[in-house]
A and B are shown apart, each in its own frame.
Chain A
Amino acid sequence: MTSDLATHPSTALGMSGQHGNVSPTAPAPGDSARAPRLPAPRFSRLAALFIDLALLLLLPGVSLAVFAKPMARLAPNPFSGDALPPARWFFLLLSIPLAFQVAQWILFAATGRTFGAAIVGIGWERPDGRRPGILRALVSRSLPILIFGSALTLLEPNSRAIWVRAGLALVVIGVLLLDALGILLRRRSMRDVASGLFAYARDLDKPRAFEAPRFSGRASAISMLGVLGALAVSSLVYVLFSHFNIESTSIDVPSVAAGVSIPLSLVIVGALAAFAARRFVVGELALTALLTGLLAYEAMLTKVVAVPALQAFEVAGFLDWSLYALSAYFGIILCLILGSALGFMVASDRGADASTKFERLVARRHLRLKLAHWLELAVIATLLPIVIYGVFIWPVRTVWRLMKGRRGAKPLPPTVFMALLTIVGVMFGVTSLNVVLGVMGGFERDLKQKILGTNAHGVVHRSIGDFDEWKKVEAKVRSVPGIKAVSPFILAEVMITTNDEVAGSVIKGIDPDSATSVTDIRKYIGKDEGSLTYLAHPELIPSDDDLPQGVLGGGTSTSGGSGKILPPPQPTTPKPVLPGIILGREMALQLHVWVGDQVTVMNPIGDLGPTGPVPRSQVFRVAAIFVSGMYEYDSKYAYITIPAAQKFFRMGQAVTGLEVRCDNPDEARPLMRQVRETLGGFPYETKDWGQMNENLFSALRLERVVMAILLSFQVLIASICVIATLVMLVVEKRKEVATLKAMGAREGSIMKLFVLEGLIIGGIGAFYGSAAGFLFCELIKKFGVGLDPQVYYITRLPVVIQPASFVAVAGIAMLLVFVATLYPARRGGSISPAEGFREE
């Protein structure tokens, strides 16, 4: 055995330096032969200080916020001419107790009744050790500030919050000066004061085993300051990231970095607080949460006060705002608690102990986990082609087999059975979340593809006036780097009629040559459904009469009733050639027309005739039929050439706008912004594809978020199962916990152990849930689920498998499970050994 395991009693506790102090042969003062009972938990002086400081920060603000509104109504400004006389009296009356308080401070400091500290609040510990009346302390410290704060608001009722803050800062500084004055009057040196303060800080909050935990001022201070610090850190991160100009087009890097830094730093703060108190500092965190909540509330109220419109409360957005605030608040609390759990588990008496070696061993054994089981499960989950088997039959069979036990061994305890069920629960949650998110993502991707196919990535408009100079603008837009192609277009709403059918339509004039480089329109025209070239050369459109001719391979051409006999290469007709039009297939079906047929396009805004407006109409020939797959487009859109459109709509040389294709559609937004800047802004306007279809995408995204939230509840329920399982496990293992503690396992270690057990359960569930979700998605992809295209635009349920979303789902599941483990793990950790053994 190595020598590191052999220890000497004197070094066993790592405190040999203190032998002299607590040696039994030299009892410390007050250490009577018959030692008194262990002292009852004492309200820490540092905690009193902390509360005092917090009050100093909070109360004035709250009082300000509460009283400022009615006061401001009472008196806009007591010092200005229009102030109401009663208000001035009111203010004067308020200053009297303030003056009394100031006098009291000076008196206290001078007579030595306060400790003479340089920080307000410490004075409440008297030198004779008598406990000061906390209530009295609170009232007499906060009242003047409350009054003073109110007075300040009276002075500046319409000031911004910064004035209020400045006033408060002045109050604090004033109080500090008063205390300093007290010190001077008592002829105490600053060194005394400093050493006194140091003594306070040094020996406070020292935890003792078997004592009720004392309120830890240190932990409270750390967490309180930490929360403020976290906010500061996030601003710092924001500034830093903005400064270094790390640019990405899809995300706002500084905001995201700042957003991430808050929970991270909060977790660290929680860990530090737990580390300082060597405890899972729930009480202190609760206090911090309460105070931060008050602070936030105060900030909110002061904001309301500061805004001239005091009715902000009634503004519709208030509810939203408070919901955001509330969730942010709970987020803060959650991060703190997570951090403190981590901190407590890691805090050992000799620094940090993050190892989970033996805890893992015990946890695995408690859950009867073996490598062989793992492999078996992995093989089942990954190789079996039928997910149903993995989801339904496998757990039942495995549980059944494990329940029966093998080779004469004892059957598994019920907790292991529960753990298995919990795994299945987590698995279900993760699976469904993954599948739903996959389908939703698929919808979005599909829609995006379709929209990008038929639409350009962006458009350039002219907000007023005719867009005559588009050729110049086109050249400019084309010069912007990142722009692939530009094409002019005309857009108008028309009616398209045949002999007996009518359809409303959006007609789009395009330049057939450049339009194909902007949209996928050429791809959407089927083989036997005409051609885009017919649009520019309508004389090439085969007519009904041409077709049999082609099929018969000869004969006479009777096209246009000309009666001339000509060789096929020249299918011209003496009749004026009708311009071509391309229709969507749904519209073509509705109008009962096909390539070569004639349709009449009517412009409802026509010429002004003697009897009022007369719709203008023109006959077109169907040049091609397109199918984009988007029902909306296929039933609505029709394409003609730009010259035809300009002629039909009498637009002269103008167009509606320019369509733009970018190299990367995901960067369309910043690129279009850039285009707009290049064009010099007004009167030119740009829009990207996202903005053009804002409603659709935002609806889809909302749906996705709501579904994710709803399905997260499933995972939440599963994590409640984790709680139940672990509580049972803790009860079952009481004696073993006591044994482990007798062998020297820390409380934090035991907590670690149970948290690990929960995480193993959740981890397996999340793993198989992800695997099953993946398989489900693959199956949907492979075999497809039919959809009514008239409702869903698309014919099949689309699925997209995004690794990031799988990771996020698993992460959320693990986080929820982790939170769920905390309570039972804490309970497991706090089982006292004696108690655990007594159970039998």
Chain B
Amino acid sequence: MAPMLEVRDLAKTYEMDGKPLEVLKDVSLSLDEGDLVALVGKSGSGKSTFLHVVGTLDSPTAGRVFFGGVDLFSRSESELARFRNDTVGFVFQSHHLLPEFTALENVMMPALIRRASRSATESRARELLKAVGLGDRLPHRPTELSGGEQQRVAIARALVLRPNLLLADEPTGNLDEATGEEVFQVLLELNRTENISAIVVTHSERLSARMPRRMRLAGGRLVGEA
């Protein structure tokens, strides 16, 4: 069976002051359902760009990304939007919560974008927020939450539509050890119970060591399973 996600010869080049800056070079990767991959590497090694491209937030300069056998970048913008909505959950390094909305609404937003009914979504969002330990912070705006709390809201938001693929960029980076551990446990739990595949970018060797697969990016290249 074909892998769920296949990245083939991915390259990404930015133009910087007229000179090409190669952020990713010939990155290939395949991921099966339920795979949990830790992506480690130094700052600037292209980890975030890799996640953006795999999540179709950015286009590759060369190479292809197949999901479920479909060449993603041959699809239209609105098809990709639906793909992100249905299939991908993002957790960003700096949360990117919508400041005008409460924690609950932020979590509900992907479902609202999908035009799901509000009531069904709300119960799911409450459940998720409770699961990440924020059951009592539902009506709070992001500015009224701590960094860790915001990060947990972001994780809940990424999971609200039960994505097949979770792309997490330093999900525990801004958290203290205990909270980070909690968040990490949530991830492992989800991976086990719902068979969600995930690519988790992390700096923490301790966390990456606990994941079944580890990849290391260096200078834009995948230098093998670390």
Contacts and interface: CB of A to CB of B under 8 A. Distances in A.
A23 interface: yes
A839 to B, nearest CB: 12
The residue in B86, B115, B164 that gathers the most chain A C-beta atoms within 10 A of its C-beta is: B86
Interface stretch (A101-109, A319-327, A345-353): A345-353
B154 to A, nearest CB: 10
A5 B160 CA distance: 9
Interface in A347-365: 347-350, 353, 355, 357-358, 361-362, 365
A786 interface: no
A192 to B, nearest CB: 28
Given A5-B162, A9-B33, A35-B63, A22 B87 contact: no
Nearest to B48: A837
A25 B81 CA distance: 26
B71 interface: yes
Contacts of B96: 735-736, 738-739, 742, 837
A19 B113 CA distance: 27
B117 to A, nearest CB: 8
Contact of B78 (A7, A348, A362, A368): A348
A128 interface: no
B58 interface: yes
Contacts of B157: 743
Most B CB within 10 A of own CB, among A24, A36, A368 = A24
A37 interface: yes
Contact of A207 (B8, B66, B77, B165): B77
B70 interface: yes
Contacts of A23: 2, 69
A358 B162 contact: no
Contacts of A362: 98, 100
Interface string B79-98: 11111111100101010111
A646 interface: no
Interface stretch (B104-112, B175-183, B203-211, B217-225): B104-112
B129 to A, nearest CB: 14
Contacts of A25: 2
Interface string A768-781: 00000000000000
B124 interface: yes
Contacts of B79: 13-15, 209, 349
B198 to A, nearest CB: 14
Contacts of B161: 5
A826 to B, nearest CB: 13
A748 B123 CA distance: 28
B43 to A, nearest CB: 15
A23 to B, nearest CB: 5
A365 B100 contact: yes
B74 A349 contact: no
Interface centre among A2, A207, A742 (most CB of B within 10 A): A742
Contacts of B111: 5
A23 B80 CA distance: 18
A349 B92 contact: no
Interface residues of A, number: 65
Contacts of B114: 5, 744
A37 B76 contact: no
A4 B117 CA distance: 11
Contact of A834 (B52, B69, B74, B76): B52
A740 B67 contact: no
Given A5-B116, A9-B33, A278 B86 contact: no
B184 interface: no
Contact of B115 (A15, A18, A24, A353): A353
Contacts of B94: 840
Given A739-B96, A743-B113, A209 B80 contact: yes
Contacts of A113: none
Contacts of B58: 210, 832-834
Nearest to B79: A349
A358 B83 contact: no
A744 B63 contact: no
B81 A747 contact: yes
A6 B2 CA distance: 21
A1 B120 contact: yes
Given A6-B162, A37-B61, A13 B83 contact: yes
A741 B115 contact: no
Given A5-B114, A349-B78, A743-B113, A208 B73 contact: yes
B170 interface: no
Interface string A735-768: 1101111111111110000000000000000000
A397 interface: no
A358 B109 contact: yes
B164 A1 contact: no
A38 interface: yes
A38 B59 CA distance: 10
B86 to A, nearest CB: 5
B9 A7 contact: no
Contacts of A348: 78, 82
Nearest to A347: B78
A18 B76 contact: no
Interface in B17-62: 33, 52, 55-59, 61-62
A36 B61 CA distance: 9
A744 B57 contact: no
A36 B55 CA distance: 21
Of B6, B77, B111, B164, most buried by chain A (CB within 10 Å of CB) is B77
A773 to B, nearest CB: 33
A625 to B, nearest CB: 72
A833 B57 contact: yes
Of A10, A12, A349, A832, chain B has the most CB atoms within 10 Å of the CB of: A12
13 contacts: A6-B162, A7-B86, A12-B83, A13-B79, A24-B69, A34-B9, A35-B63, A361-B105, A365-B98, A739-B96, A742-B55, A747-B77, A749-B113
Given A13-B83, A743-B85, A744-B85, 4 more contacts: A2-B116, A37-B62, A278-B78, A832-B58
Interface of A: 1-2, 4-10, 12-16, 18-19, 22-25, 33-38, 206-210, 278, 347-350, 353, 355, 357-358, 361-362, 365-366, 368, 410, 735-736, 738-749, 832-834, 837, 840
Interface of B: 2, 4, 6, 8-9, 33, 52, 55-59, 61-64, 66-71, 73-87, 90, 92, 94, 96-101, 105, 109-116, 120, 123-124, 143, 157, 161-162, 164-165
CB-based closest 3 A-B pairs: A744-B85, A210-B59, A834-B58
